[in-house]
Amino acid sequence: MSTPEPRDPTVALTAETQAALSPMDVLQALKDGNKRFIDGTPLERDFMKQVRETAGGQYPMAAILGCIDSRVPHEIVFDKGVGDVFSARVAGNFVNTDILGSLEFATAVAGAKVIVVLGHTECGAVKGACDHVELGNLTSTLANISPAVYAINDFEGERSSKNKDFVQAVAHENVEMTVRNMVDRSTVMRNLVQEGKLMVIGAMHDVATGEVMFMEESMITAETL
């Protein structure tokens, strides 16, 4: 049984209510929000009220690094409101220096307690990486996903976008690698994890059902670091 979130989730977060949340509280709030989304029971929110409430500052609970895919709107699939989450998006949900810097701001400066690396099924960027697509600047973008393609080295079957199982295996591996890369490449976030102030975890969103499956085995906390 989940523990109720220790705040009214329809009210914009403040410095006080953000501080009262632990990383596990935030993870549960994201899980509960996704369940409401797939059940068709989202909370009623006055978004313009939240705009006014957050005009003087922001205190989000989480940061989500996801793909640019139009079928995965972060605030909607987690049933969150204005000021609840930072949203970083790039085709293939990988990290580079700019995204790492953005997430360092989200956590060390603005106080987010959880980073979710959110992959998804039927990912066009992953399919492109599997097929070694070359197209303008997209070529270098997809190169960031190539390590996950090559990491799946014991796969039997066609290694292309035509094989859904291969695409899914690469997408899953890409999320796990991104979680590890994030903590390895950022001493700022690694220190926050060591202090128990931050959790990093991977997840996969199913574009056919809307369900987000958290990859508990990928979770990085002070205890697992």
190 is in which domain, residue-wise? 15-119+185-220
pLDDT band at residue 2 using 50, 70 and 90 as cut-offs: very low
pLDDT in tens, 163-174: 999 999 999 999
Say if residue 205 carries a ligand binding annotation.
Answer: no
Let me know if residue 21 belongs to a domain. Answer: yes
Output the pTM of the full model.
0.94
What CATH number has the domain bearing residue 81?
3.40.1050.10
> CA-CA distances (angstroms) from residue 20 to 5, 17, 24, 157, 181?
10, 5, 11, 49, 28
Let me know if residue 7 belongs to a domain. Answer: no
- How many structural domains comprise the chain? 1
Let me know if residue 159 belongs to a domain. Answer: no
Let me know if residue 72 belongs to a domain. Answer: yes
Let me know if residue 130 belongs to a domain. Answer: no
Let me know if residue 156 belongs to a domain. Answer: no
Distance CA 54, CA 74 (A): 18
Say if residue 69 carries a ligand binding annotation.
Answer: yes
